[in-house]
Structure 1
Amino acid sequence: MEIHPKITPIYQTSVFKFDDLNELEQYFGEPGSRYMYSRNGNPNSDELAAAVNRLEGGAGAIATGSGMAAIFAALLAFCQAGDHVLCAADIYGGSSSLLNAELSRMGITVTYVPFEKLYDVGQYVQPTTRVMLAETLSNPLLRVADLRRLATECHEHKLKLVVDNTFASPILTQPIGLGADITLHSVTKYISGHSDVTAGVVVAADAEVAARLKQIGVVYGLTLSPMESWLAVRGLKTLRLRMREHSHNALAIAQFLQQHPAVRAVYYPGLADHLQHALAQEQGGGLFGGMMSIKLADDPEVVNRFMQRCQRWPFAPSLAGVDSSLSYPLGTSHRYLTPEQQEELGISVGVIRLSIGIEPVEELIADLKQALES
């Protein structure tokens, strides 16, 4: 009896069988013709990589065990010992920890570029500079990078542009179409979308770079498991619908918070007074995503009371699930920056990051209202 499942089954196996030596030779002689060992490739992880690759318009992709593994693979695709990396100062704390604490041990150095200098990096470029790492929407203050302009600047200096597109998702922005050489995601966030998967994906604009990513994934053992891959593919199928709801809810909440006397600032690119609002509108196709940060009084007690009173916003240091949550950058994602770096980036005691879910927006606003009125 032939079986034709509509949904790809979970290939929960570490190894695949061969009938004879001819099939073994076929595996090595015709790459991609069959599977041997799940670290080298599995139908589920390949399905996820191919699906994100299509959304991003890439030439090839790999799925990895986490977003951090994706960042690691992307940088190794272009860098070796002795090379130098430029990194936007507004970056996820895990990215800076990787560069500072681990890649430095491999002889790869980094210089951080302030946001206002991203499009004039000549003074930071060294003979060994290979890569610029930046985010579409910065974490946590939602500054928007002009990716087309940034790619042009990088390529003028013979640099590769690597873009972390996690906050935007491919529904808002496709960095490769704007000139990026690699785009990557923490699949844990919007792509999977249900806070039940830890995964990453890296997409290359060039087929040779995609092959290099594949090699890095296999040799370093970064490959994603079949079960996680299957869950992420299932989540990906509703990404377009979810991003619309995330964006709709976030804009309504941002407008409410902007008028509340207890809120000193709202960082959301969908607001007309956001410094990169027009750029965000162009790059996001009219959607602005579900991430924002707000600033309350720089007083730990004020922050604590707000968190304790929130009923619909659990304090959970991640983001982008269908259920709303809040996080505290100073104590989690950006904890290991120096106080000077935190101050330069505007990450103060009162800054709280909100991940807006897809619940009824009236309920979310009502809960924020009662929590703020304490």
Structure 2
Amino acid sequence: MDLSTIHPKVTPIYQTSVFKFEDLNAIQEYIDDPQSRYMYSRNGNPNSDELAEAVSRWEGGAGAVATGSGMAAIFAALMTYCRAGDHVLCAADIYGGSAALLNLELARLGITVSYVPFEELYDLKTHVTLATRLLLCETMSNPLLRVVDVARVATECHAHGLKLVVDNTFASPVLTKPLAYGADLVMHSVTKYLAGHSDVTAGAVVARTTEDAARLRQIGTVYGLTLSPMESWLSVRGLKTLRLRMAAHSENAWLVAEFLDEHPAVEAVYYPGLPTHPQHALALAQGGGRFGGMMSFRLADDAAVINRFMQRSQRFPFAPSLAGVDSSCSHPLTTSHRALTEAQRAELGITVGLVRLSVGIEPVEELLADLAQALE
């Protein structure tokens, strides 16, 4: 059969590490224009390129790179702008893995970091030095769901000559597109909402300019961050239902947040969809009327209480990740944010009693019934 006559609707999985060349002329063609064909899957492959292009379209970017994990995406984003001797600003409300990368590994490369309290993100003058290159923040912070005004932060960063890198994992481009508000790079743990089914580990970084997009691709190739064909294919498949899933996540989470907000055992609920949330109006405008599927709530600061809740719940298993179609819970103090210092955790209010929920797309009445019995 002539393979040129086959036109699949879905891109096949190019499960190969290397591609063939006809002769020396063909390899020279690749050397002259690496975008003309494929050579080695680490340099790029049809599946990872398809995912990168899809995420870039979602975010309205000029180009992207797909990476082996969300952590790889954060690293690629930071290395786009930083070198030894540079200084990075990071929002104090940040994923613990991001803090670990900044504190442990970038320090070894001669890159220093300072943390900016949430209240000071829109006035950076006391934090900026001559060596400062960028600010890293999250659209919705992990785990307390504080919402950043991306347009205001971008204006403040650019006034100081800084780049703005935004982790958009919690919101997804269905809710917020940071590049449209002035961000320079936006990154995702594709593992979470973009793939959506808890069966992929992947990341992506999207650039606002073609120059930064080219730099991202170089970093992905040289550091070996490029995502494998199979993981890329699964991520693209998941991405096709992102809009529908985010609508269901958001609707369920809003009802769960209302339930928890009224429960006597719950001391506080952190969800931007609640009118009592400090950034509710901003989240409403920036999120297009939806607030996502992530929230945290506070029980008594007693490990026995948390253990009883986790042991009783059947629909929110303790699984330290998030954003799958199936609901889950996590414990920031002992998992995602354990790399933060004790002082950082205390300042953010990350204590034993804080539980993070990732609300899935199951029938919401089943989720509410499970929470009711688990909190008895």
Normalising by the residue count of structure 2, what TM-score does the alignment of the two structures yield?
A: 0.99
Whether 2:215 is the aligned partner of 1:217: answer no
Residue 31 of structure 2: aligned partner: 28
- Structure 2: which amino acid aligns with 1:166? T
Query: Which SS does the other structure have where 2:81 is aligned?
Result: coil
Q: 1:96 aligns with which of 78, 81, 99?
A: 99
Which residue matches 2:348? 345
Tell me what 1:15 maps to: 18
Residue type of the alignment partner of 1:105: R
Are 1:146 and 2:143 an aligned pair? no
Match of residue 86 from structure 1: 89
Dislocated runs of 4+, deviation >4 Å: none
- SS at 1:184's partner residue? strand
- Could you give the per-residue CA deviations for residues 94-116 of structure 1, whole angstroms, max 9, x where no partner exists? 00000000000000000000000
Residue by residue, what CA displacement relative to the aligned partner does 1:282-306 show, whole Å, maximum 9, x if unpaired?
1110010000000001111111100
Within the candidate set 51, 55, 61, 1:52 is matched to 55
Alpha-carbon distance between aligned partners in 2 of 1:86 and 1:311, rounded to the nearest angstrom: 40
Residue 235, structure 1, aligned to residue 238, structure 2: yes
For structure 2, which runs of at least 5 residues remain unmatched after alignment?
none
Using the TM superposition, give the Cα deviation of residue 23 of structure 1 relative to its aligned residue in structure 2, in angstroms.
Answer: 1.1
Deviation at 1:28, TM superposition (A): 1.6
State the distance in 1 between where 2:341 and 2:173 align. 32
**Equivalences for 1:170-209 in 2 at 5 Å?**
170-209=173-212
Equivalent position of 1:288 in the other structure = 291
Give, as a single letter, the amino acid of the residue that structure 2 aligns with 1:69: A
Which residue is equivalent to 2:67? 64
CA distance in 1: counterparts of 2:224 and 2:100, whole angstroms: 20
Cα separation, 1, equivalents of 2:345 and 2:112: 21
Q: Could you tell me which residue of structure 1 aligns to residue 327 of structure 2?
A: 324
Give the paired residue count.
373
Does structure 1 retain, via aligned residues, the 8 Å contact 2:97–2:339? no
Return the match for 1:117 from 113, 117, 120: 120
* Partner Cα separation in structure 2 for residue 233 and residue 247 of structure 1: 21
Aligned mates of 1:25, 1:340 — CA distance in 2: 56
AA at the equivalent of 1:80: R
Which stretch of structure 1 is more off in the superposition, 20-29 or 10-19? 20-29
Aligned to 1:134: 137
Q: Does 1:256 align with 2:259?
A: yes
Question: SS of the counterpart of 1:53?
Answer: helix
Q: Deviation of residue 339 (structure 1)?
A: 1.6
Looking at structure 2, the residues matched to 83 and 338 of structure 1 have their Cα atoms a distance apart, in angstroms, of: 23
CA separation in 2, counterparts of 1:17 and 1:252? 54
1:178-207 CA distances to partner (integer Å, 9 max, x unpaired)? 000000000000000000000000000011
The 2-side partners of 1:28 and 1:47 are apart by 22
1:266 match: 269
CA drift at 1:26: 1.2
**Structure 1, unaligned runs of 5 or more:** none
- What's the CA shift string for 1:62-117, capped at 9, x where partnerless? 00000000000000000000000000000000000000000000000000000000
- SS of the equivalent of 2:34 reads coil
CA distance in structure 1 between the aligned counterparts of 2:291 and 2:35, rounded to whole angstroms? 38
Q: How far 1:319 moved relative to its partner?
A: 0.1
The alignment partner of 2:88 has SS state of strand
1:290-326 per-residue CA deviation (whole Å, 9 max, x = no partner) reads 0000000111111110010001111000000000000
Deviations 1:220-253 (A, max 9, x none): 0000000000000000000000000000000000
Q: Which residue of 1 aligns with 2:361?
A: 358
- How far is 1:30 from its partner? 2.2
CA distance in 1, matches of 2:228, 2:302: 43
CA RMSD of aligned residues (A): 0.5
Q: In the TM superposition, what whole-angstrom CA distance separates every residue of 1:314-358 from its partner, at most 9, and x where no partner exists?
A: 100000000000000000011121221111001111000000000
Q: CA deviation at 1:22?
A: 1.4
Inter-partner Cα distance in structure 1 for 2:300 and 2:142: 20
Distance 2:299 2:317 in 1: 17
% identical aligned pairs: 73
- AA of the residue aligned to 1:251: W
